[in-house]
């Protein structure tokens, strides 16, 4: 695809999201089952953050390095998403070009960009993988 193609052409329109008051054990389960690394955090229809596998790892490591699986799950159950999410995520509009989206990912060293509509609602998600597929005609 051409670099000026808008992200709405490749964005994931169906994606898992969580609320900021949900616990990290739930996020951990959804990420593992869905094989996803990033989840938008949506409250009352508005994007309020992004939580990533890296956030889950940091939360676990901040407590104790040698959790067994049961202790880790109990610990994650005690933490709300809002405590670890990126509260001011870098976002794009549906008409943002693939070139500009890729530049944002590289500049900010992030793996996904929530796509937001005019009222701040999450309408899609663009990941590194989506951009690679668009660039190389895969998928």
pLDDT tens track for 35-85? 889 999 999 999 999 999 888 877 766 555 556 667 777 777 788 899 989
- In this prediction, residue 41 carries a pLDDT of 96
pLDDT tens track for 1-29? 888 999 999 999 999 999 999 998 889 88
CA distance 75 to 130: 33
The secondary element (H helix, E strand) that includes residue 127 is strand 122-127
- In this prediction, residue 51 carries a pLDDT of 95
> Which residue ranges form the domains of the chain, and what is each CATH number?
7-136 (3.10.580.10)
Each as own residue / partner, the long-range contacts of residues 26-29 (CB below 8 Å, 24 or more positions apart, any chain) are 27/51, 27/56, 27/76, 27/81, 28/56, 28/73, 28/76
Burial of 107 (0-12, 13-18, 19+ CB in 10 A): exposed
Q: Per-residue confidence at 134, pLDDT binned at 50, 70, 90? A: very high
The token pair at 99 is: 């070139």
Q: What pTM was computed for the model?
A: 0.85
Whether the per-residue pLDDT at 130 is higher than 90: the answer is: yes
pLDDT tens track for 102-129? 999 999 999 999 999 999 999 999 999 9
Cβ count within 10 A of residue 59:
21
Cβ count within 10 A of residue 76:
21
- In this prediction, residue 56 carries a pLDDT of 80
Contacts of 50 (CB under 8 A, 6+ apart): 38, 39, 40, 41, 85, 86, 89, 112, 114
């Amino acid at each position: 695809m051409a670099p000026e193609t808008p992200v709405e052409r490749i964005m994931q329109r169906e994606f898992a999201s969580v609320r900021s008051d949900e616990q990290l054990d739930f996020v951990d389960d959804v990420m593992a089952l869905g094989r996803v690394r990033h989840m938008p955090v949506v409250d009352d229809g508005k994007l309020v953050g992004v939580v990533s596998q890296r956030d889950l790892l940091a939360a676990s490591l901040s407590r104790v390095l040698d959790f067994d699986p049961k202790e880790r799950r109990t610990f994650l159950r005690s933490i709300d998403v809002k405590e670890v999410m990126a509260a001011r995520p870098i976002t794009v509009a549906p008409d943002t070009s693939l070139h500009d989206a890729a530049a944002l990912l590289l500049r900010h060293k992030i793996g996904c960009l929530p796509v937001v509509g005019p009222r701040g609602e999450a309408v899609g998600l663009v990941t590194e993988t989506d951009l690679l597929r668009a660039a190389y005609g895969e998928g």
